[in-house]
């Protein structure tokens, strides 16, 4: 074989060997041949060892793990790895007895509406509660936006306090309008260890003190007057304020249901629902028992103050309790749920013969009552020893648990009233809030 032929053969072998290797991706920019090969070699020549290129793994996206929807609300901490559309509030509260507020649920936020923030209010108060760690929705410019669950609270009314143990939120309370009047044992223990600060009442609220506490929320009531309310001063200082108008609810169970309102801020709807369902069951059973009573004794309420006898309206909270306890409230035919302003003579004319006299205020004995006005001794209830006051659980500072724990536990108030009017129906019951005035 001459040198020229040998050179050609070697060149052919090299070309064949190179043809079995893949071209690098960078070569993709080269201009391709205008004519595709008509055939492709099916195997490497037998006299030349075939070369095998090591396959390069193709880069693929990591599979996205499916987001597991929570089976319980986040009561501590924030969502990590937020996924749109996931329901972060699997435990919801349904409002069944109160007409004062509503809660609407969406995957990662709630809309809480207080329908009457204060007496005569023409506008509602709206709160956008967004699960911490998720996106804030658009379209709620008129709502107060709050991340939940909240971690700190200043309470401007003792009516909120009995709900905090139920909601596992006692340690979240950092401030209170007045430390003296609180009755809830868990809250008193926290006060006595110096963990709750006093911030003052209404428009006299200590704004600087509240700023130092830096609470997530200040929850307060409102009258609609800037001269009396804490809300305007607090909001002016940039503090997040929530209006709670539980006191306007005229249904005893409706007022107790405001536990669900508080629960929404702590994501504790499950605890609130369990507790409230038990209250409803017990209350309804007691009301059914009272309905079996043969008689319905007549009832007079309250005592005059500076010449005016403030009497509860016929559609009020206490009027409903009296009806459910099997009694006849002498002003039950009044169509209002507000306070009536009466004089002594009109009350005496209507209620002198009333069977029972309840809720006398700061009266500790019949002698005290008579000393206030000797005409009180002319009421039949006074003469028959049927005078009861709702101050059996009053602390050393004058705080009356009837207006705190009683608002949260209307079933205990109802049981007391049935014991007064129909003792034969609850012979084993011991008074919780009421006592006989002697």
Structural domain boundaries in the chain: 101-277, 291-436
CATH topology of domain 101-277: Rossmann fold (3.40.50)
Model confidence pLDDT, tens digit, residues 261-320? 999 999 999 999 999 999 999 999 999 999 999 999 999 999 999 999 999 999 999 999
CB 134 within 8 A of CB 82: yes
The tokens 């307060």 sit on which residue? 220
Calculate the average pLDDT of the chain: 89
Structure confidence at residue 359 as a pLDDT band (50, 70, 90): very high
Model confidence pLDDT, tens digit, residues 24-56? 333 333 333 333 333 333 333 334 344 344 444
Please list, in sequence order, all residues whose beta carbon lies within 8 angstroms of the beta carbon of residue 381, skipping any fewer than 6 positions away: 300, 354, 355, 356, 357, 387
Model confidence pLDDT, tens digit, residues 117-133? 999 999 999 999 999 99
Q: What's the CA gap between 434 and 412, in Å, rounded?
A: 10
CATH topology of domain 291-436: Rossmann fold (3.40.50)
Q: Is the pLDDT of residue 81 over 70?
A: yes
Structure confidence at residue 66 as a pLDDT band (50, 70, 90): low
Q: pTM, whole model, 2 decimals?
A: 0.84
Strands of the sheet containing 241-243, edge to edge, are: 197-198, 173-176, 153-155, 217-220, 241-243
Shared fold status for 101-277 and 291-436? yes
Give the pLDDT mean for 206-219. Answer: 98
Structure tokens given for 107: 């995957």
Q: Is the pLDDT of residue 10 over 60?
A: no
Q: Report the candidate in 168, 173, 171 with the shortest Cα–Cα distance to residue 263.
A: 168
Q: Return the biggest CA–CA distance within the chain.
A: 148
CB-count exposure of residue 37 (10 Å: 0-12, 13-18, 19+): exposed
Q: Is the pLDDT of residue 71 over 50?
A: yes
Structure confidence at residue 67 as a pLDDT band (50, 70, 90): confident
């Amino acid at each position: 074989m001459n040198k020229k032929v040998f050179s050609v053969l070697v060149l052919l072998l090299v070309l064949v060997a190179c043809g079995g290797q893949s071209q690098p991706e960078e070569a993709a920019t080269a201009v391709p041949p205008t004519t595709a090969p008509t055939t492709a070699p099916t195997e490497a020549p037998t006299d030349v060892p075939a070369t095998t290129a090591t396959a390069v793994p193709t880069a693929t996206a990591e599979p996205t793990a499916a987001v597991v929807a929570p089976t319980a609300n986040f009561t501590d901490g924030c969502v990590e790895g937020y996924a749109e559309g996931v329901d972060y509030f699997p435990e919801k509260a349904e409002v069944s007895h109160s007409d004062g507020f509503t809660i609407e649920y969406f995957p990662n936020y709630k809309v809480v509406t207080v329908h009457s923030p204060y007496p005569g209010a023409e506008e509602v108060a709206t709160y956008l509660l967004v699960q911490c760690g998720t996106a804030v929705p658009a379209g709620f410019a008129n709502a107060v936006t709050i991340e939940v669950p909240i971690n700190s609270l200043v309470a401007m009314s003792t009516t909120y306090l009995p709900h905090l143990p139920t909601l596992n939120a006692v340690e979240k309370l950092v401030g209170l309008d007045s430390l003296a009047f609180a009755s809830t044992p868990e809250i008193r223990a926290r006060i006595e260890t110096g963990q709750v600060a006093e911030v003052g009442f209404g428009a006299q609220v200590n704004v600087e003190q509240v700023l130092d506490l830096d609470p997530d929320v200040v929850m307060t009531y409102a009258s609609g007057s800037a001269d009396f309310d804490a809300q305007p001063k607090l909001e002016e200082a940039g503090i997040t304020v929530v209006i709670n108008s539980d006191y306007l609810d005229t249904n005893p169970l409706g007022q107790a249901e405001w536990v669900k309102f508080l629960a929404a801020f702590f994501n504790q709807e499950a605890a609130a629902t369990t507790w409230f369902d038990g209250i409803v069951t017990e209350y309804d059973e007691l009301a059914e028992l009272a309905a079996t009573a043969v008689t319905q004794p007549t009832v007079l309420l309250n005592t005059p103050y500076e010449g005016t006898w403030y009497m509860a309206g016929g559609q009020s909270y206490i009027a409903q309790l009296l009806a459910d306890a099997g009694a006849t409230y002498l002003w039950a035919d009044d169509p209002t749920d507000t306070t009536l302003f009466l004089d002594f003579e009109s009350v005496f004319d209507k209620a002198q013969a009333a069977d029972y006299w309840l809720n006398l205020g700061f009266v500790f004995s019949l002698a005290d009552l008579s000393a206030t006005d000797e005409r009180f001794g002319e009421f039949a209830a006074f003469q028959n020893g049927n005078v009861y006051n709702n101050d059996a659980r009053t602390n050393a500072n004058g705080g009356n648990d009837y207006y705190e724990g009683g608002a949260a536990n209307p079933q205990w108030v109802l049981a007391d009233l049935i014991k007064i009017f129909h003792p034969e129906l609850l012979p084993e019951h011991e008074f919780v809030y009421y006592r006989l005035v002697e």
